[in-house]
Chains A and B, each alone.
Chain A
Amino acid sequence: MSQFAINLLFVGASFALYIGIAIWARAGSTKEFYVAGGGVHPITNGMATAADWMSAASFISMAGLIAAGGYSASTFLMGWTGGYVILAMLLAPYLRKFGKFTVPDFIGDRFYSRTARVIAVVCLIVASVTYVIGQMTGAGVAFSRFLEVPSNVGIWIAAAIVFLYAVFGGMKGITYTQVAQYVVLIVAYTIPAVFIALQLTGNPIPMFGMFSTHTESGIPLLQKLDDVVRALGFQDYTGDASSKLNMLLLTLSLMIGTAGLPHVIIRFFTVPKVADARWSAGWALVFIALLYLTAPAVASMARLNLMTTIYPEMSGQVESYDAAANNPIFYEDRPEWIRSWEETGLITFTDKNNDGRIQFYNDANPDFADTEATRGWAGNELVVNNDIMVLANPEIANLPPWVIGLIAAGGIAAALSTAAGLLLAISSAISHDLIKKTINPAITEKGEMRAARISMGGAILLATYLGLNPPGFAAQTVALAFGIAAATLFPVLMMGIFSTRMNSAGAVAGMLAGLVTTLLYLFTYLGWFFIPGTNMLANTPENWLFGISPLGFGPVGALANFAVAFVVSRLTAPPPLEIQQLVESVRYPKGAGLAVDH
């Protein structure tokens, strides 16, 4: 069977499974559509949350980011997991006790304010739409690489599949497909990682292999990797970060952003009890960690594999790295996987010094210029896209073709599961918060169901359109989606639970302060509405306010939100008594089972 047929078989089988679930899990009521009936087992929900959370970026790009960034990229590992601690202790149990359907629902009711509800809906839509574009394009890339269709067609196929189970099944259909998608993606991620760990270290568990001895050279793997990259002018893989402030702020931004992202929070509305919401957050992190503990191992091993493929003399016990660096492979002798990835344009080679060999090194390092001149090198000749680290792993390690088929199905599962969660957050905010709670409160249950399905269909079309024609902000998921969730939604949710004194004026002013400061900071360095060339200051560390990178601005926006909300709420009247009682009631688990039937 050809590789194409195998890929088609794996992806087709996974799609058949999702469609089967879609037919079985049709939503009959708004409660089923929004929160899967509220009876999902905490472990099941943990698994669905893991798939909901782990996007195309986690599956395809994260290991490549770590491979390129080394220690500094640990930000993503800590940032995208640490948010669950905040969620489990500061948000999920109380929002579950509140027992409504959406995140703006809590903000609107708790702050007894239509304005607060609408601002929350706007923030939710901006964050979720930015996020969903990446999932659509991610699915498109996976389709075009593995199924030989243009990525446009891939995006349409992905949209059609999501349409089937999200429009008919709502949260119920999404929950059970996410469970299936989790299984597909974790198996696809782990198998190649285990083989590579075995090949490089003899240890079958990647997370341990990473810290053990590299078999070929007899020294620890990470030390070996440091030696190899140093000889080629790159920064030490385990070397310290250049700005600890930005590493800290970006990590914090990702953590509180994670906790404030509506598509994650609404997953915790589906479990039966408050205690289940706490346990479920723990299970979610266990399932997430299965991938997140493997990712740094994949990153370091794939980087070492890549380097020693180009410089074979560096792989064993090396007497002189300088001598080994002079003998990279000839372009003619490059392995098959480099050839096949060259066709996609994700690997490119230019023989700058015309010696027929591949010089792959860091030509941007001024301290390396002397070595470069002595060796007769005329610039880096190989450009490798980070995303290849996971996608090409099976080929680099010479694994059988079915593993490649599995990676194809896994990458698409990661993109679809996250897309569906985001689309539900968007469509429920429209049908429940805008239509039912703001525009037409008299709408019937049946009418709201129809509105929910139409909003879902509309959201899918919008996501598809934006996936086909990505706007300037599409590449800004980290800055925009996490920045907004961190600076607007997270603080206001937290204050709604932990402060009985916080009132509607405070919440509205706080959200606006967080939103405006964050957007202004992003627009200053990244361009107005992210249009290239319209930025007022160059996006370089010298220009940043107190040296804070736009990516790490979320916590500063959150601080502005907290501060403004505090001051405004003290200057205005306290919330009415029944709201203070509502805050009291969300703090105590007793009675959550009833609260959902509102």
Chain B
Amino acid sequence: MADDKSNAAAYWKANLRLIIGCMIVWALVSYGFGILLRPLLSGIPIGGTDLGFWFAQQGSILTFIGLIFFYAWRMNRIDRKFGLGE
């Protein structure tokens, strides 16, 4: 039982770590590049405007898709590693 418990706790910790990593990227591309840090990116031109505009209108959405699939894929491996999958 104790082993089960520590195994489960380790699983949850691994999940939380992965979530935090993904959420940092999530915030960085939308609130960061798309909104607050846009002035810093104004020097990088892209199709008649700057990189911040691209992140706000397309880049963030594309990153979100990548993040969810990355999370789903990594969690599947974590599920198996800890023997807690279905």
**A contact residues vs B (CB 8 Å cutoff):** 66, 71, 74, 77-78, 81-82, 84-86, 88-90, 93, 207, 210-212, 219-224, 226, 238, 240-241, 244, 247-248, 251-252, 273-275, 278-279, 281-282, 285-286, 289, 292-293, 296, 584, 587-593
Contacts and interface: CB of A to CB of B under 8 A. Distances in A.
Given A71-B57, A222-B53, A279-B72, 16 more contacts: A77-B58, A81-B64, A90-B19, A210-B47, A211-B54, A220-B47, A223-B48, A273-B86, A275-B79, A275-B85, A282-B68, A289-B65, A584-B8, A587-B15, A589-B86, A590-B85
B8 A588 contact: yes
Nearest 9 pairs between A and B by C-beta?
A220-B48, A211-B47, A223-B48, A74-B56, A222-B48, A278-B72, A282-B68, A238-B49, A296-B57
B35 A77 contact: no
Nearest to B22: A89
Contacts of B62: 289, 293
Interface string B38-76: 110000001111100110111011101101110110011
12 contacts: A78-B60, A78-B61, A81-B61, A211-B49, A219-B48, A221-B47, A248-B31, A278-B75, A281-B72, A587-B15, A589-B79, A592-B86
Given A71-B53, A275-B75, A275-B79, A82 B64 contact: yes
A588 B11 contact: yes
Nearest to B19: A89
Nearest to B26: A85
A238 B86 CA distance: 48
A292 B75 CA distance: 27
A285 B23 CA distance: 16
A279 B74 CA distance: 11
The binding surface of chain B is classed by DSSP as: helix
A251 B48 contact: no
A85 B67 CA distance: 7
Given A584-B8, A588-B11, A285 B68 contact: yes
Contacts of A244: 35-36
A238 B11 contact: no
A99 to B, nearest CB: 12
A78 B68 contact: no
Contacts of A82: 26, 30, 60, 64
The binding surface of chain A is classed by DSSP as: helix
Contacts of A584: 8
B22 A251 contact: no
A210 B56 CA distance: 14
Contacts of A88: 68, 71-72
A158 to B, nearest CB: 30
Contacts of B58: 77, 207, 293, 296
Contacts of B19: 89-90
Nearest to A278: B72
A89 B64 contact: no
Contact of A223 (B15, B49, B65, B85): B49
A82 B61 CA distance: 7
A547 B38 CA distance: 21
A587 B36 CA distance: 34
A211 B46 contact: yes
A590 B84 contact: yes
A93 B79 CA distance: 12
B84 A282 contact: no
A220 B85 CA distance: 50
B56 A248 contact: no
Contacts of B30: 78, 82, 251
A289 B79 contact: no
Nearest to A593: B86
B11 to A, nearest CB: 7
Nearest to A300: B57
B72 A222 contact: no
Contacts of B34: 74, 78
Given A78-B56, A211-B54, A251-B30, A275 B86 contact: yes
A251 B26 CA distance: 12
B13 to A, nearest CB: 11
A82 B46 CA distance: 23
Nearest to A255: B30
A240 B39 contact: yes
Interface string B4-35: 00001001100100010011001000110011
A150 to B, nearest CB: 37
A591 B64 contact: no
Contacts of A289: 61-62, 65
Contacts of B86: 273-275, 589-593
Nearest to B63: A85
A78 B63 CA distance: 11
B65 A285 contact: yes
B61 A278 contact: no
Given A85-B22, A278-B68, A77 B48 contact: no
A222 B54 CA distance: 11
Given A85-B68, A88-B71, A587 B61 contact: no
A292 B49 CA distance: 19
Contacts of B47: 210-212, 220-222
Contact of A275 (B15, B22, B38, B76): B76
Nearest to B18: A89
A89 B36 contact: no
A322 B35 CA distance: 32
A238 to B, nearest CB: 4
